Amino acid sequence: MNLSHVTPVLRSCNEAQTREFYVDFLGFKVDWEHRFEPVSPLYMQVSKGDCILHLTEHFGDCNPGGAIRIATVGLDEFHAELIAKQFKYARPGIGDMPWGSREMSITDPSGNRLTFVATDGNE
């Protein structure tokens, strides 16, 4: 047996706010979208580098308010890029955690917390 990559599924409650946050602010790209009908809830995959997330408006898929940790090379550069955008809903900071890691946490419009964790040793 071999376990491989995990794809988190996060709840999305507002399509426009979700796109603004993940695509415009964080810089993810939309890989694909699915709706059973034109008026059905959206289920989509977004990615940035090797990070793949599924975002769902479907009520039964998961609850808002999840939390994920994303290994990040170049955390300082990513932080500077986000701050330069002057996004009116988020101005994240980087913190040195008591357990020895450097992290930047951001909450999306649906209450999901994304924590970007420095992994390149130079942060």
Containing 82, the helix (H) or strand (E) segment is: helix 75-84
More confident residue, 65 or 122: 65
Domains of the chain: 9-118 (3.10.180.10)
Contact 55, 22 (CB under 8 A): yes
67-121 residue pLDDT tens? 999 999 999 999 999 999 999 999 999 999 999 999 999 999 999 999 999 998 6
Cα–Cα dist 123/121, whole Å: 6
17-47 residue pLDDT tens? 999 999 999 999 999 999 999 999 999 999 9
